[in-house]
Chain A
Amino acid sequence: MPINRRDFLKFSAGAGLLAGAGVDSAVAATEKPPQLPKDAVGILYDATLCIGCMACMVNCKRTNAEPGGALYHREAEGQVPYEYPESGDAIYDAPLRLSGKTLCIIKAYRAEGDAVEPDAPHSSFIKQHCLHCIDPPCVSVCPVRALQKQSDTGIVTYNKHRCFGCRYCQVACPFGIPQFEWEKASPSIVKCQLCNHRLAQGKFSACCEFCPTGASIFGPVEELREEAKRRLALKPGDTYNYQVQHVDGRQRTEKVVSRYVDHIYGMDEAGGTQYLFLAGVEFNKLGFNPHISNEIYPRLTWSYISQVPALIGTLLVVGTVTRLVTQRIEKNKDANQKSTDEADAS
């Protein structure tokens, strides 16, 4: 037989490497950008209107502790999971960060020392909760489909009966949103589900419904995008009739326009989100991870996974052919002997 054994091994090793290298070269050039679901709803948070009253936080907790809410647990029926301050009296809800008991939190930024620019505002509030990505990393990584994106509203929901607690969603979410109930022996992931249960009752997200200033408004994402663009075009110092609660503008409040940073956060970040932000302070200062890009994160994974079926086939073929060829070489080498039988191989 003409094939030289050494060369053949070189070839098969090379084929293996090629197969491995192919994984990396996958470029998602042909894929379209993620499409907004047809009835996508979301929130526009305008930090320049937020007074930090935290009505959103406390009403988020209260309404989500009701049956169907993201904080509802049958064993704790009727209890609202308030987190009291570590020192002092247990009189008000004072969580420090998102947790298994807090879906939504208002944080404050204060400019310090040299960082203060003469023109820029010295402080701002920021409201953190799930951004409901258009192509959510958490949904793409969940191995049991406990996290799902609703095809109509685009809300990212969670089913605790499917979840087996691997916490990959926590690793994958660039915004650090999903939280885990560490203290429980039977834990769940906890995250904002945009008051999905209230939507079914004809209401909408509690954080918007109870916001007295119009800092958080609810509505179809397309309309929120339009509104955000309109606000960026306003002139600081003019007055504007801001919507309250809902982008439909049935309730409005007239206010003097503050200066905006010329950016709508959530328009393109992580491929776009259904929760949009406007602010007077650079978003990096408001606690957003500066390394978050406009990358559609699930595609990083898909460029690997989409190659797996081809790799399975390639590896099986390469393995089988290698075995056949080395056996042939063996036979030729010991032409007089009978080749060793398979049973011996074990």
Chain B
Amino acid sequence: MESNPTIKTWTPVTAVLLLFIVTGSMAMLYRLVFGLGATTNLSDAYPWGFWLGLDVLGGVAMAAGGFIIACAVYLFNWKKYRPIVRPAILTAFLGYLMAVVAICLDIGHPFRIWHPMFMWQYHSVMWVVAMHVIFYTATLGLEFSPMLFERLGWEKARRAVGKVMVAAVIFGVMLSTLHQSSLGAVYLIAQSKMSPLWWDTKLPFQFLVSAVAMGLAMVSVETMLSRKFLHHKVDKEIFYGLARGTLIVLSFYLLLKLYQLFVVSGVGLAFNGSMQANMYLLEMLIGVIIPVALLAMKSIRRNTSWIFSINLLVISGVLLNRLNVGLFSMEEYFASHGLSYSPSWMEFLVSLGIISLGIFLYKMSAKHLPLFSH
């Protein structure tokens, strides 16, 4: 097959993306040479910061669309979503690759990234997470490979992958479900440092459910964008279906969070006017309450421009949740040690570079690979 002629390689957007990729790469190089202290504002009180909160926790949650759509199409046999299964898998693959880049930069010794593979410690959620990242990124690579093989005309390889595709999807759904919840389980041990607004024994389950909501919103947004800018022809019914899915998952998530607030942490904690309380309310309002209220109305749920805006709310809300869990939930503990954290400009540059690389690779895949043919 040929490259898609309707997608132009050189546009102002591409130029901006490349600029961010270049500046981000320079900051990454600086980090590799001079270390974390010279590059970031992290400290012993704030050992994990922006990269981990946004790029890793957020990026992985955004990639959840891949396993949900693959599950819907291959396991539930919902054929309606077949047109978006390839873009969703590609997004997940790129998302995980981006998270791997971010993890490599964030750990103190990037070149020892392989250590968990040989130095097992299954009592550590971090080890469990590392295994999930390795296996799931490989699985996503396999699920993605038919696009490459079709482009290269490697018919045999494509057929071979086709034979194991369903097995790969089942394996991927299992890994992804556990990976999303394991990321929440990472924080179980920090009970004494975290605000009960976020810390809960059900944190793993909450992470999973919110990742599903975000994954649905993300797939919807990305399909709308590629419909507009990359000429991907899709039926509007897909957006309506995704919006309905988001509504169902998000309502369930709202119930979980309300139960935690009223029964476990105590409702007063959310309204005491502290910074943590306000961050919690902001997260719940933009990410959960407003989207649920709007999506509950059928006229809105069947209007693509409304859906687009609501999706953006859901995505920002869940990203904010990850930043809250990773940073703001421990604010009180940190403040008692007289320390504060805000990301350095180089931390921003690196994150911007990583995200731009993801978007750029997506666009190039749309142009050069059979991403939208189904």
- The finding on whether chains A and B are genuine partners in a shared complex, rather than unrelated, reads yes
Pair count A-B, CB < 8 A = 211
Q: How far is the CA of A303 from the CA of B202 in the complex (A)?
A: 11
Other-chain residue from B48, B76, B166 in contact with A167 (beta carbon distance below 8 A): B48
Other-chain residue from A9, A144, A329 in contact with B116 (beta carbon distance below 8 A): A144
Q: How far is the CA of A183 from the CA of B269 in the complex (A)?
A: 38
Q: Which of A166, A292, A302, A304 has the most CB of B within 10 A?
A: A166
Known: A141-B124, A176-B337. A319 touches B174 (CB 8 A): yes
* Segment at the interface with B among A237-245, A260-268, A308-316: A308-316
Inter-subunit contact B119/A346 (CB<8 Å) = no
B31 to A, closest residue via Cβ: A185
Give chain A residues whose Cβ lies under 8 Å from the Cβ of B48: 167, 171
Other-chain residue from A16, A24, A165, A346 in contact with B107 (beta carbon distance below 8 A): A165
Interface assignment of A59: CB less than 8 Å from any CB of chain B: no
Interface assignment of A258: CB less than 8 Å from any CB of chain B: no
Interface assignment of A180: CB less than 8 Å from any CB of chain B: yes
How big is chain B's contact interface, by range? 35 or more
How big is chain A's contact interface, by range? 35 or more
Inter-subunit contact B123/A301 (CB<8 Å) = yes
Give chain A residues whose Cβ lies under 8 Å from the Cβ of B241: none
* Segment at the interface with B among A75-83, A222-230, A320-328: A320-328
Interface assignment of A23: CB less than 8 Å from any CB of chain B: yes
Known: A23-B204, A298-B189, A305-B125. A164 touches B112 (CB 8 A): yes
Give chain A residues whose Cβ lies under 8 Å from the Cβ of B193: 171, 174, 289, 291
Inter-subunit contact B76/A20 (CB<8 Å) = no
Give chain A residues whose Cβ lies under 8 Å from the Cβ of B74: 323, 345
Q: How far is the CA of A185 from the CA of B37 in the complex (A)?
A: 8
Q: How far is the CA of A9 from the CA of B78 in the complex (A)?
A: 11
Inter-subunit contact B123/A164 (CB<8 Å) = no
* Segment at the interface with A among B8-16, B38-46, B94-102, B360-368: B38-46
Interface assignment of B115: CB less than 8 Å from any CB of chain A: yes
Inter-subunit contact B123/A305 (CB<8 Å) = yes
List the interface of chain A (C-beta within 8 A of B): 9, 16, 20-21, 23-24, 97-99, 137, 140-145, 162-168, 170-172, 174, 176, 179-188, 289, 291-293, 295, 297-298, 300-305, 308, 311-312, 315-316, 319-320, 322-323, 326-327, 329-330, 342-346
Listed A/B pairs (30) with beta-carbon separation below 8 Å:
A24-B202, A140-B123, A140-B189, A141-B189, A144-B119, A162-B115, A164-B109, A164-B113, A167-B48, A168-B124, A168-B126, A171-B189, A174-B192, A180-B36, A180-B47, A182-B43, A185-B33, A185-B35, A291-B193, A292-B192, A298-B123, A300-B191, A304-B204, A305-B123, A316-B170, A316-B171, A330-B77, A342-B165, A343-B159, A345-B74
